[in-house]
Structure 1
């Protein structure tokens, strides 16, 4: 559905949010549409929420961090 590089960028975005790293300038240099990256990141988190039993508090924390950055 998405090119592999966009999925990889979404994974980097998720990791940066969880580690509280500021990657805004880095993503700006790449000139990618952050709305698309954030949507892919949300789909990835939804996938893990639905198909893997990650502790719910970790998912809630990750989702809330992503939503506050959006």
Structure 2
């Protein structure tokens, strides 16, 4: 949660009862943002894992030389 949002949440808590729906809204927003970040990281992890598996296979099979080497410049 951003510092600004944390301050807003703390202000709401300090102001006492009656603003629980506002606090819940902030928490829901934060939850949504964190879930989106986790989904992005999970997608990245999937790509990295696929590359690891590919490299492991090529190293095991002795076919790793030049694996995904850039094409020579012309």
TM class by shorter-chain length?
Answer: 0.3 to 0.5
Higher RCO (C-alpha 8 Å, min separation 6):
1
Q: Please tell me whether Structure 1 or Structure 2 has the larger radius of gyration of its CA atoms.
A: 2
Larger helix share, 1 or 2: 1
TM-score, reference length from structure 2: 0.33
- TM (norm. structure 1) is 0.35
